[in-house]
Amino acid sequence: MKVGSRLSAVVLAALLLLSSCRTAGPQTAAIFAMDTVMDFTVYGGAQTLADAEARVRELETLFSVTSEESELSALNRSGGGTVSAETAALIPAALALCERTGGALDITVYPVVRAWGFTAGDRRVPSGEELAALSAAVDYRGVSVKGNAVTLAQGAEIDLGSVAKGYTADRLTEQLRAAGVESALLNLGGNVQAIGKKPNGHDWRVAIRDPQSKKNIAVLAVSNRAVVTSGGYERFFERDGVTYHHIIDPATGCPAKSGLLSVTVVAESGLLADALSTALYVMGLDRAAEHWRAYRDFEAVFVDENGTIFLTEGLQSCFSPISRDAAVEVIRL
Ligand code: AMP
Ligand code: MG
């Protein structure tokens, strides 16, 4: 064999190998857990999806506030007790974020959320007196954690719905990476976790929805990031022509009216992104922008009631609006 043809044989073999790698499709799964549909796309690693699903189910058994059998429900009933290492890790991490957001995030909001019927039971509009009475017990500072022992103040009950999916996404990311996965996209019902890049070396593309039309309005190109959206449009009901949504302002006990319709947070940590998407929604644009300037450990996209899109300046290079006519403003330092 001549040198030239030997070389082309080697090149051909390399190309074949490469294309066989490329055509090795992803493992995909769609499961219903934590009250939402989750979609996983994972490249490489054996058995990883079955393990991921098992992990989600395990965490759901701990954190679900709607299941009476969960560890969290038992804690809420008893007002205190010893919890698993997992719950004893999440609660203090969430409390630190309640503190950081000045109580815009408050995991003791559960009695109020339940009164509105957002988690279980019938959706209803509680009276002002009922909300005032329930809100009196809403205060994350009444939760104390010492090792695995958690104690709740009188009347307080914890809802981890604002942070559990983000925490779960972080645990899944760790688990998949430990199993050798370098490329995956996990969507836990609006909590997206991009692991590495796509197998072709490009960033993952995560769409942001228009809170009003529910069509996609923009795309974020990301790798190794959590992209988490909170929006009033995700869970709501109407009574007498008024819309009530599930993100509660702990200061009033009512659905937050901050002028925002959705907040998307991009951060390395799924837990941080999840906690902040909820909290910044409550804070509104101005306070949220101040929070970003003070911490700089996340970026965010906000959609307000006029349909204007605001993005923090760190996202400029990875943000593409779908319509050329979209009103987009950049939040700068
Ligand atoms: P998310 O979808 O992550 O924005 O979380 C919203 C869920 O968290 C709601 O369905 C409630 O169960 C709970 N929640 C609502 N408002 C708050 C709040 N201000 N702080 C903490 N949790 C909240
Ligand atoms: Mg959240």
Q: pTM of this prediction? A: 0.92
Q: Is 248 in the pocket of ligand 1 (CB under 6 A)?
A: yes
Closest among 102, 321, 124 to 207, alpha carbons compared: 321
Looking at the chain, list the stretches that DSSP marks H as alpha helix, in order from N- to C-terminal side: 3-23, 48-63, 71-78, 85-100, 110-115, 128-135, 164-178, 270-283, 285-295
In tens, the pLDDT along 283-332 reads 999 999 999 999 999 999 999 999 999 999 999 999 999 988 889 999 99
Q: Kindly calculate the radius of gyration of the chain based on its CA atoms and give it in whole angstroms.
A: 22
| Identity of the residue numbered 53 | E
Shortest-distance Cα residue to atom 18 of ligand 1 = 105
pLDDT at 1: 44
Q: Is 98 in the pocket of ligand 1 (CB under 6 A)?
A: no
| Identity of the residue numbered 111 | P
Q: Is 140 in the pocket of ligand 1 (CB under 6 A)?
A: no
- Residue 180 alpha carbon to ligand 2 centre in Å: 28
- Residue 14 alpha carbon to ligand 1 centre in Å: 51
In tens, the pLDDT along 181-196 reads 999 999 999 999 999 9
Closest among 296, 298, 305 to 278, alpha carbons compared: 298
Q: Is 157 in the pocket of ligand 1 (CB under 6 A)?
A: no
